[in-house]
């Protein structure tokens, strides 16, 4: 009888990521992971201290996947900030369970939007806002916050409903929003 194949930590995380992508993070259980890997629950429990640890590492993997999709094609885009917003919305439309895992599963509980924007991972996005707008560093966060709220709202509508992705409508809406923000630039609130 050949020895049983060892279930690796990486294989478990691959399976967890695929479950999150297909069915949502709620589907990530030790039993479902074991079924997907064709093993008992013991190898899964041996590699991780808890399901929470699996979720945390799967979340990081999903975040990395999302970030790669956000920046896809930006270097050749005529309007990189617009392309970034469209990539975010498209991600929500195409990866609904993963989008909900990343942004609607309570991982930001107790934080403010300002705290999220201050995260080091957001710095490249703020730099992109600066390049697109010419705004000084001190003002970029406010513009990004307004853009993010609108883009995230649009994306959430697609991720949580049976709405169809319409790239041209999204482009028109984001263009109008961006133009409006630029017209307001410099005006007191």
Q: Give 64's pLDDT tier (boundaries 50, 70, 90).
A: very high
- Break the chain into its structural domains and give their ranges: 1-64, 72-189
CA distances from 56 to 41, 109, 124, 178 (A): 19, 14, 23, 34
Q: What is the pLDDT of residues 133-149, one digit of tens each?
A: 888 888 888 889 889 99
User: Are the CB atoms for 54 and 128 separated by under 8 Å?
Assistant: no
CATH superfamily of 1-64: Tetracycline Repressor, domain 2 (1.10.357.10)
Q: Give 96's pLDDT tier (boundaries 50, 70, 90).
A: very high
Question: Rounded mean pLDDT of the chain?
Answer: 89
* pLDDT cut 90: percent of the chain above it: 65
Degrees, nearest 5: CA angle 11-99-28? 40
Degrees, nearest 5: CA angle 167-58-66? 25
For the four alpha carbons of 183, 186, 188 and 189, in that order, the dihedral sign comes to positive
DSSP assigned state of 27: G
């Amino acid at each position: 009888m050949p020895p049983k194949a060892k279930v690796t930590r990486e294989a478990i995380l691959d399976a967890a990521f695929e479950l999150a992508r297909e069915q949502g993070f709620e589907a990530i259980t030790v039993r479902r992971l074991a079924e997907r890997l064709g093993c008992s629950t013991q190898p899964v429990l041996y590699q991780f201290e808890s399901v929470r640890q699996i979720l945390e590492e799967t979340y990081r993997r999903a975040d990395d996947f999302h970030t790669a999709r956000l920046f896809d094609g930006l270097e050749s885009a005529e309007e990189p900030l617009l392309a970034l917003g469209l990539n975010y919305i498209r991600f929500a439309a195409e990866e609904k369970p993963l989008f909900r895992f990343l942004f609607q599963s309570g991982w930001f509980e107790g934080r403010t939007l300002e705290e999220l924007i201050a995260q080091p991972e957001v710095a490249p996005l703020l730099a992109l806002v600066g390049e697109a707008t010419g705004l000084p560093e001190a003002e970029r966060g406010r513009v990004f916050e307004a853009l993010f709220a609108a883009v995230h709202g649009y994306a959430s509508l697609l991720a949580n409903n049976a709405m169809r992705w319409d790239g041209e409508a999204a482009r028109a809406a984001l263009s109008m929003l961006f133009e409006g923000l630029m017209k307001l630039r410099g005006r007191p609130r």
